[in-house]
Amino acid sequence: MKFGKLDTHQELEGIDWTLPECQIEWKTIENNDSPNQVSTAVRTGGTMWTVRPWRGKVYPKKDPMRTWAGHYGRQFGSLEFNATHYRIYSPEKMAAWADEMPDGFIFCPKFPALISHYRRFGNCEGPTDDFIAGISALGNKLGTAFLQLPPHYAPKHSEKLGSYLKAWPRDLKMAIEFRHPDWFAGGKDAEMMWQLLSELGIGAVISDTAGRRDALHMRLTTKFLIVRFGGYDGHTSDEERLKLWTKRISQLTKNGTPLESFDLLVHTTDSVQTPETCRLFSKLMKETCGLKIKTPKEILSSD
């Protein structure tokens, strides 16, 4: 996750990691929601399963790479599925990956760059249909598909985006990751889009990244939330930030806010320290919320 990434640990000193207050912007809150009925599904995962340094630590040392998808699914609760950003896969291939994963695991596929970065939401009917066919084959392991906008994609460019979102099937969960600073500055074009997200039931990805604290917008337009967490490989700030998230989850639950799911998608350098970051989050979730979530267990290198 290069977005907002700072180059040195020294740059992390003095940053205010405090989470802004949540703004609940989804269109309706059902009358039957109550604190006793709230049960938020909390999951954590990384961005890939083909991480060689995990061999002997997360994956059995002697198992070949073709088995790693299944090992990943048994260790983590979710995956930021970046592969779909670079290629639209067939339903058969997606179904095969889904079959590798246990019940309860979910994929968060990223929209193809062909749609978001190259065609910029124009003349995208064919690629979108192919993308939908592929991710639909994930079945009950399909989570929220997220659309990452290019860093230079400002609200003033968003007319085609609005039309694209209105055509997206309402039964498929979707969220957008905004990056251009104007999305968080309160301008007219931006606010029209935020309102549209609420009306359509489309989420807004929260990017917790050190160099772009404006992207920590805390505007909840849906009851499902994706947080992309840019970690620093065990730096003390990682624990401080993760603890704030566990406290926020606890607060939302106690206040009766009917958040359905929370997916923490972890980014570390070359994904090497992702298991350790997920374990830390799991530990803090148990301490803060009393909730046990799936987390990778370190295995003996001789296994």
Q: What's the confidence (pLDDT) of residue 37? A: 54
Cβ–Cβ < 8 Å for 49, 69: yes
Name the residue among 289, 2, 15 with its Cα closest to residue 151.
Answer: 2
**CA 57 to chain CA centroid, nearest Å:** 24
Q: What's the confidence (pLDDT) of residue 35? A: 46
Q: Does 216 fall in a domain?
A: yes
Confidence band of 32 (pLDDT split at 50, 70, 90): very low
pLDDT at 256 over 80: no
Name the residue among 55, 45, 58 with its Cα closest to residue 105.
Answer: 45
Mean pLDDT value across the chain: 92
Q: Does 197 fall in a domain?
A: yes
Q: What pTM value is reported for the model? A: 0.94
| CATH number for position 151 | 3.20.20.410
What is the count of structural domains for the chain? 1
Residue 66: CB partners within 8 Å, gap ≥ 6?
A: none
Name the residue among 60, 69, 46 with its Cα closest to residue 279.
Answer: 46
The C-alpha atoms of residue 294 and residue 107 are separated, in whole angstroms, by 15
Confidence band of 30 (pLDDT split at 50, 70, 90): very low
Q: Report percent pLDDT > 70 for the chain.
A: 95
More confident of the two residues 7 and 200:
200
For residue 4, give Cα distances in angstroms to 209, 229, 230, 235.
Answer: 5, 11, 8, 16
H or E stretch at 24 = strand 23-24
Name the residue among 214, 211, 206 with its Cα closest to residue 237.
Answer: 211
pLDDT at 303 over 80: no
Confidence band of 298 (pLDDT split at 50, 70, 90): confident
Helix (H, G, I), strand (E, B) or coil at 2: coil
Q: What's the confidence (pLDDT) of residue 300? A: 57
Indicate the range of 1-10, 13-22, 29-38, 76-85 predicted with least confidence.
29-38
pLDDT at 33 over 60: no
The C-alpha atoms of residue 132 and residue 146 are separated, in whole angstroms, by 12
Q: What share of the chain is helix, strand, coil (3-state, %, to 5)?
A: 40, 15, 45
More confident of the two residues 7 and 102:
102
Q: What's the confidence (pLDDT) of residue 302? A: 47
Q: Does 19 fall in a domain?
A: no
Q: Does 201 fall in a domain?
A: yes
Q: What's the confidence (pLDDT) of residue 38? A: 54
Domain interval for residue 201:
39-289
Q: Spell out the alpha helix ranges (H) of the chain.
A: 68-75, 83-86, 91-100, 113, 125-136, 159-167, 188-200, 236-254, 274-289
The C-alpha atoms of residue 107 and residue 135 are separated, in whole angstroms, by 9
pLDDT in tens, 257-275: 778 999 999 999 999 999 9
The C-alpha atoms of residue 37 and residue 24 are separated, in whole angstroms, by 18
pLDDT at 31 over 50: no
Helix (H, G, I), strand (E, B) or coil at 55: strand
Q: Does 11 fall in a domain?
A: no
Residue-wise DSSP of 168-202 = S-TTS-EEEE--SGGGGTT-HHHHHHHHHHHHHT-
pLDDT in tens, 58-69: 999 999 999 999
Positive or negative torsion for Cα 19, 22, 25, 26: positive
Q: Does 152 fall in a domain?
A: yes
Give mean pLDDT, residues 10-24: 93
Q: Does 300 fall in a domain?
A: no
More confident of the two residues 154 and 254:
154
Q: Does 238 fall in a domain?
A: yes
Region label for 238, one of left (φ > 0), alpha (ψ between -120 and 50) or beta (otherwise): alpha
Indicate the range of 1-5, 93-97, 102-106, 223-227 predicted with least confidence.
1-5
